[in-house]
Amino acid sequence: MRSGSAAWVGAAACLLVCGCTTVAGLDRPYHLQPDGGAGGAGGAGGSAPADERCDVEASAGCVYDRCGAVPEGAPAGVYTLDPDGAGPSGALQVHCGEPADGGRWALVFNSVGELGGPTLAFWKILYADRLSPKGEPSLDNNHYQPGLYIPGREYRDEIEDIPGTVVEVLRANAEGIDPETMQLLTPIRLSGGEDNLFDWQFGTGWASEDFDRDTKGDGNCASAFAGVAQHYGNCFVYSLGADGDEDESVTDDDWGPHLETVVATSYGLSNDGSHYTRVKRISRWTRW
């Protein structure tokens, strides 16, 4: 154990390097204990020493209020976030990206293409499960962390094509989300999102097979396209796991996700010759 002065220096460095969150009077990043309590000076139910630091060397054991508070030198990966400072009960497992564009972004969802893979089934989310996380927080796996829609204020969507080119197709703001309708509050397009992408994939209502808040006047977009739930307009520019192409000559092998080919071309992405081309992944990120 370090001396008292060294402990104070460690805590101060933690505040300067990591940012902070508040839990049971602990106004800095904290450590979750094996029993689920928050450790650190002033923490309730924890036994961590007061000088335990949440810096780059120990960042994997810390709880942060946002990805932007993860130390700049720490790698991209899974971190525990407590956006509202509610403590262990409100902690989320989140994939935080590399520092970029003024800070790190948190992964809201990630849809990964795979021949005959689990993508379609993964995105068949029922209304009752709309706020339940699914999958592993990683760019290599299908993942859904809806808890991030609540604190999220800035958003960006990116798409990677089959050869590996990655482009940002949309940047927008919102003031949170209505947890009943899953409608993003006060959505504002900042860049990208042309060809209905912003309106149909971000600014519109959420739809699943058993819940219809899309703008399709004669049916439910989720039901029309393989039961895949997401923010839908009439019906999609991209889908997390459904193929909107009616060309029977195209063998899709249950691939997901897809992007309208004319949009793929406009962003310099490759296409497979069908109306809705297969892409490697579609990812949505947020920060606050």
Q: Which of 50, 19, 151, 25 is nearest to 91 (CA)?
A: 151
- The amino acid occupying position 120 is L
Domain map of the chain by residue range?
1-104, 107-136+154-288
Q: How far apart are the first and last CA of the chain?
A: 36
Which pTM value belongs to this model? 0.83
Is the Cα dihedral 187, 193, 199, 205 positive or negative?
Answer: negative
Residue 260: strand, helix, or coil: strand
Q: How far is CA 98 from the centre of its chain?
A: 14
Task: Give the single-character DSSP code of 68.
Answer: G
Question: Which pairs count as long-range contacts for 118-123, CB under 8 Å and 24+ apart, including other chains?
Answer: 118/142, 119/240, 119/241, 119/254, 119/255, 119/256, 119/257, 120/226, 120/227, 120/228, 120/241, 120/242, 120/254, 120/256, 122/241, 123/228, 123/229, 123/230, 123/240, 123/241, 123/242, 123/256
Q: How many Å apart are CA 181 and CA 237, to the nearest integer?
A: 21
Please tell me the predicted confidence (pLDDT) of residue 44: 36
Q: Please give the distance of CA 70 from its chain centroid, rounded to a whole number.
A: 16
Please tell me the predicted confidence (pLDDT) of residue 285. Answer: 98
Q: Is the separation of the CB atoms in 30 and 63 below 8 Å?
A: yes
pLDDT at 164: 97
**What is the Cα–Cα distance from 139 to 190, expressed in whole angstroms?**
24
Q: What is the per-residue pLDDT for 242?
A: 86
Dist. CA 148–CA 113, nearest whole Å: 23
Walking along the chain (288 residues) 10 residues at a time, the average pLDDT comes out as: 30 36 45 47 35 53 92 94 86 95 95 90 96 97 97 98 98 97 97 96 96 94 93 95 69 85 96 92 98
